[in-house]
Amino acid sequence: MNKKELKKGFGIILKFLILSPIIYLILKPLEGILKRYIAFNSYIVIKIFEECSLKDNIIYLPNLSIEVIEGCTGITSISIYLAVVFITGKNVKEYFIGTLFGVIFIYFGNVIRIALIGILSNKYGNPILFHDLVSYIDVPVISVIATLIWFDIQNKMKNKWYEQ
């Protein structure tokens, strides 16, 4: 690796380290709104497998209740993903497609995470263990998969433009 490539790599990392917290601070006010939507969508998924009810942002299962709080909204993962999109995107079309895809993908990945925590905790107890276990697996996996799919979409868009 030559000096120019190394400098470019550090520049990309620096942009990411600056941009991701800025995006997070911009999106953070949405956490209060999103927690109810996340709770509702998680409730719908849990309802397929378990008897439950929903009041505000709390899902009541037979053996426990789950409160969906601001930290459960996935805004941190979305911010990190969007920083990657804005750093690697080349034009407005890429920004739009990358943003739309990633936000939806991470949002529903987060819904599945909460539903899994609820179902497993209700059946086997120990909600803290299942919260930590499922979260430590789901959050990075969903984020990495979203990013890899984004790179694939971006590559296909680039190849399509060259063909025109």
Cα–Cα distance for residue pair 5/12, rounded to 1 Å: 11
Residue 147: pLDDT over 70: yes
User: 68 vs 72, 73, 103, 145, CA distance in Å?
Assistant: 6, 8, 18, 24
User: Residue 144 pLDDT > 80, yes or no?
Assistant: yes
Look at residue 128 and tell me whether its pLDDT is greater than 70.
Answer: yes
Average pLDDT, the chain: 92
pLDDT at 133 over 80: yes
**In terms of pTM, does the model score above 0.75?**
yes
What residues pair up with 67 in beta bridges, in sequence order?
A: 58
Q: Tokens at residue 47, please?
A: 């309802």
CB 158 within 8 A of CB 125: no
Cα distances (Å, whole numbers) of residue 33 to 92, 129, 150: 27, 27, 26
Cβ distance 40 to 46 under 8 Å? no
Radius of gyration of the chain (CA): 19
Chain-centroid distance of CA 141 in Å reads 10
Q: Which pLDDT tens digit goes with each residue over 25-37?
A: 999 999 999 999 9
Known catalytic residues are: 72, 113
